[in-house]
Every structure is written in structure tokens, then in C-alpha cells.
């Protein structure tokens, strides 16, 4: 009889642990396509600053820990007969995993991955990073990545004959909340802009260097 009770208790404990794990890990994996790009030599035109004061709609929605500001236009120009813009927006990240999601999601997913070290999730200082969104305005295709360094300026973006070149380092995303960084990679999204609110600059100089290339 005692052996039977012990077996029942063990089964209950195991099912309880499984239920806790499923609760903690639910929604941690991001079902969003990711595309990685090469760092290559390139050349093209730097355009003068752009402006955009409209809304930005991103699909699928990514549960980033956005700060209160809106997207701003860092650079905009033309590649062949297409228009591209590079938008930026502030996100907040927590030091535990340095991923830009809410405290609740970060702590929950960290505990699912590291149950024996879960107490570390209780104290998570906030840092600031930037989301970088490269948009083909004609097709609505967008690529969204995260950078810790200074936000890109218009002079960090080069519009070449065959794509957009970014003079950025350590652009990354994660496949799951509280997961490892994947370098030189972006989430693939669809973006809707209010084109009448977009104002491009003009080509101001030609330059060359080594960049992350977003092909046309």
C-alpha cells in the first residue's frame, strides 16, 4: 500500500512540474521568420536626413518592450526604382538576458530555461537599446533588428545599386524570449507606413566601406 501511495505521489509531482514548465515556457518561442545577412564591401550614396511623423504598423506583432517614443526616420533613399527607409525606436532591455521584452515575459521564460537559477529573475536592471527597422516602402517588406550601440544616423546608411548597406555592428535578434542573441539577423515583417507623411532627403555624398547588406 505504501509503495502504491509513493508512486501516486511521484506521478502527481511530475505532472505538477510539467504543468509549471508548460506555463512558464508558453509563448517564449517567437514564431517569426528570421533572416541573416552578410557583412560585405559595398558603395553607394548617403542621403541627407529624412522625416516621418506617421504611424508604423508591423505584422506579425512582436512583443518588444517599447519605450514611449515613436519610430523616427534615420535615413531614407532610393535603390533603383524602390524607396527604402531606416526607422528607429527605443526599447528597454533587462540585464538578465539582455533581450528587449517585458519584465514578466523575460522572468517567466528565463525561469523555464533555468529553473535552478530562477531567483536571479527577481532583480533585473533596465538598459536602453534601439530597434532598427529597414523597410522597402514599395512592397512593405521590413527587417527589424536590435542594437546596443548608438542609434543609426543618416550617415550610417548607404543606398547602393543593389541594396541598402548598414554601417552597424552587433545587430541581433533572438528566436525565443530570454534566448541567445543571433548576430547580423533581423525579424522579417510586413510594414504599413503612411507614405504621404514620409519626406526623403537628397543624395549628398558617395562612400564605400564594409557593411551589413540588405539586398534589393
pLDDT-based confidence at 111, cuts 50/70/90? confident
Q: Would you give the distance in Å from CA 54 to the centre of its chain?
A: 20
Residue 2 is given by DSSP the state H
Domain residue limits, the chain? 2-215
Q: What count of other Cβ atoms lies within 10 Å of the Cβ of residue 171?
A: 25
| Lowest mean pLDDT segment, chosen from 41-55, 61-75, 196-210 | 61-75
Q: What count of other Cβ atoms lies within 10 Å of the Cβ of residue 10?
A: 10
DSSP 69-99: SPPEEEEEEEETTEEEEEEEEEEEEETTTTB
Q: What pLDDT, in 10s, does the model give residues 38-67? A: 999 999 999 999 999 999 999 998 989 998
Are 51 and 88 in contact by the 8 Å Cβ rule? The answer is: no
Cα(135)–Cα(88) distance, rounded to whole angstroms?
11
Amino acid at each position: 500500500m505504501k509503495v502504491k501511495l509513493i508512486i501516486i505521489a511521484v506521478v502527481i509531482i511530475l505532472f505538477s512540474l510539467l504543468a509549471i514548465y508548460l506555463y512558464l515556457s508558453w509563448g517564449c518561442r517567437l514564431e517569426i521568420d528570421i533572416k541573416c545577412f552578410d557583412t560585405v564591401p559595398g558603395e553607394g550614396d548617403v542621403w541627407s536626413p529624412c522625416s516621418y511623423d506617421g504611424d508604423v504598423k508591423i505584422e506579425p506583432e512582436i512583443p518588444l518592450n517599447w519605450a514611449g517614443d515613436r519610430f523616427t526616420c534615420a535615413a531614407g533613399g532610393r535603390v533603383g526604382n524602390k524607396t527604402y527607409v531606416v526607422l528607429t525606436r527605443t526599447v528597454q532591455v533587462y540585464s538578465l538576458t539582455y533581450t528587449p521584452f517585458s519584465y514578466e515575459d523575460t522572468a517567466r521564460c528565463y525561469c523555464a530555461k533555468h529553473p535552478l537559477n530562477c531567483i536571479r529573475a527577481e532583480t533585473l536592471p533596465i538598459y536602453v537599446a534601439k530597434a532598427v527597422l529597414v523597410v522597402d516602402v514599395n512592397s512593405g517588406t521590413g527587417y527589424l533588428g536590435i542594437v546596443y550601440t548608438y542609434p543609426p544616423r543618416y550617415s550610417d546608411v548607404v543606398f547602393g545599386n543593389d541594396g541598402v548597406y548598414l554601417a552597424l555592428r552587433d545587430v541581433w535578434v533572438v528566436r525565443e524570449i530570454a534566448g541567445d542573441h543571433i548576430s547580423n539577423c533581423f525579424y522579417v515583417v510586413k510594414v504599413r507606413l503612411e507614405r504621404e507623411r514620409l519626406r526623403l532627403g537628397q543624395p549628398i555624398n558617395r562612400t564605400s566601406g564594409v557593411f551589413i547588406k540588405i539586398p534589393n
